[in-house]
Structure 1
Amino acid sequence: MGHYVIRRLLQMIPVFIGTTLLIFLMVNVMGDPISALCGDRKCDPATAARLREQFNLNAPLWQQYLTYMGNIFTGDFGTAFNGQRVTELMGTAFPVTIRLTVVAIIFEIVIGISLGVVTGLRRGRPIDTTVLLLTLVVISVPTFVTGLLLQLLLGIKWNVIEPSVSAAADFSELIVPGLVLASVSLAYVTRLTRTSIAENARADYVRTATAKGLPRRRVIMRHLLRNSLIPVVTFIGTDIGSLMGGAIVTERIFNIHGVGYQLYQGVLRQSSPTVVGFVTVLVIVFLLANLIVDLLYAVLDPRIWYA
C-alpha cells in the first residue's frame, strides 16, 4: 500500500505541472490585465509601465510561470491586482466554500445513496418510477433556476430562510445553498446507486448469501451495498473538486463570498494571480480526492489490493 501511495504521489507531479501550466497560459491570453485595471480610460503610460514592472508582466510567459511555481513552494501565491495578497483571499474564501461543499456532499451521501438503494431494490415499482422522473427533472433544470426558485419561495415569499447568506456563513445558513449546489450531483448519485444495486442484486454472491440464510439487512449492508458503492464513491470523489470550483452560480445567487465568488471577480477583473492561485489549489484538492477514492476501493471491496 505504501509503495502504491508513493507511486501515485509521484504521478501527480507531471499532472500538477501540466494543469497549472495550461491554466496559466489560458488566463494570460484573456487580455491585457493592465488595461482592465484602468477601466474604460486608457492607462497612463508611466502608470502602466510601473504596474507591469510591479506584477512582473514584462517578463516572457515561461519566465513568469517558473517564477510563479517557485513562489508556490514558499507559500506565496502572488498579489491580486487590487493589492491584496492571494493567500488572504484564500483564507477568507476557502473555509466558506469548504463548509458549503461539506453540506452538499452530505446531501449526496445521505439522500442520494438512500434513494438509490430503495429504488434499486424496488426496481420497476411506483417508487422507482417516481424517483427516476424526479431525478430527471432535477438534472434537466439548470442550477441557477433551482437556486432562484428556492430563494424566492423559501427566502422571500415564506420567510423560512434569509434570502442571502451572512458574512459568517454558518452551516445552518448553508443548508439551502448546499442543497442547490448538490442537486444535480445528488440526482446522478441516486441513479448511479440504483443501477449498481439492481445489477449486483442478481450476482451469484448475493444469491449465495441469501441461500445460506443470512438476514436480508446483513446481505444488503454487508455484501450488496459495499460492492455497489465503488462507482458511487468514484463519482463523489471526483465531484468534490467540481463542487468547490463550480459553486460560482450558487454563491452568486445567495451572496456567498467563497471560492466561486473570488474566481468570478478574478475573471471579471482579469486578475491572473487570483484565478491561477485559486485554480492551483483546486487542482491539488482534485488530485488528493482521487487518491483517497482509490484507497477507499480496498476498504469497500477486500478483493481489491494494491501491490
Structure 2
Amino acid sequence: MQPTLVILAAGMASRYGSMKQIQSFGPSGETIMDYSIYDAIRAGFKKVVFIIREDFAENFKSIFEPKLKGKIETDYVFQSLQSFLGNQQVPTERTKPWGTAHAVLCCKETVKEPFAVINADDFYGRDAFQKAYDFLTTDVSEKAQCIIGYQLKKTLSENGSVSRGVCEADENNNLISINERTSIYRNEQGKITYEDETGLHEVSEDSLVSMNFFGFSPAIFPIIEKQFQEFLAENINKPKAEFFIPLVGDNYIKSGLGVIKVIPTDAQWFGVTYKEDAPGVQKSIDTLVQSGEYPNNLMAQ
C-alpha cells in the first residue's frame, strides 16, 4: 500500500504573525510546502493530506489545487477544537488548537495507509523524504514506527528560542525517550541551552531532535485517541496545554507497544518560526535553486 504524506497546516502562526503556510519563498512564488511536496513526489509519495482550519480552506485550496493537479492526489482534513471531545465542551478560555498529535488524530477517518507527518512551515530536505518513504514501504508495522532525526545545531533560529523534541536512542537506533523542550536557543557563550521551570540546562549540539517528521502505521490512530482522552482528563481546563506528537511517541515506547526507529539525516533544516527568519529561508532556497537541487519553477516540472 502506497504511503501518504500528511502536512500539519492548521497552526495559528501566533509567533510568526501571519499565515506563513501560504507565504511565497521560492523564485517563482513557491511556498515551503511546495518544496516538501516536490521532494515527497520525487521520493515516491502519491497522495498528500493537508490538515487545515476550515475557515481558510477555500483560500488554501485556491492556491494549492491548480499547481498540484495531475502531480499528486490531494485531500483535506479540518482540525477543530471540538474534534474528539465527545460530550465535553471546549472551555471558553481555550483558543489555540489542542496540538499536533490532536491534528494527526483528526486524520483517523481519512488516512487508512502508512503515512508520514510533517510541519507545513519546515524545510526538511530531499534526503528526509526518501528515507521516510523507504521505511514506510518496507519496515513500518503496527509495532514499528519511525522518526527522522536532525542534528540540533542544524535546527536553530537566530531570531529566538525554538521547541524541539530531544531524542535518545539505543545502539539499534530505537528511540528510548523523546523530551519536548519548548525554549531552546544558543546562549551568549555559544552553548545550546533549554529553559524549563527548573532553570537552564545545556544540551549537546549533535543531539538528534524531532522536527515533527514521523512515519506511522494507521494502527497508531486508536493509540493517539486513547492518549488524547487521558490528556483531556488532566488538561482540558489548562488553556495553554498542548498534546504534542512527541508525547505520543514517548508514551508508545514506554508502554511497550512497539519501537520507533530513529532515522538520522544530516540535512540542514530551516523554517520560519519568526518573521525575521523569512529572509534567511529565502536565501537558503535561492542557494539550493542555484546549485541545481531544485528547478527555478518548481511546479512547472
Q: Same fold (TM over 0.5)?
A: no
TM-score by length of 1: 0.21
Which structure's residues are more often strand, by fraction?
2
Which structure's residues are more often helix, by fraction?
1
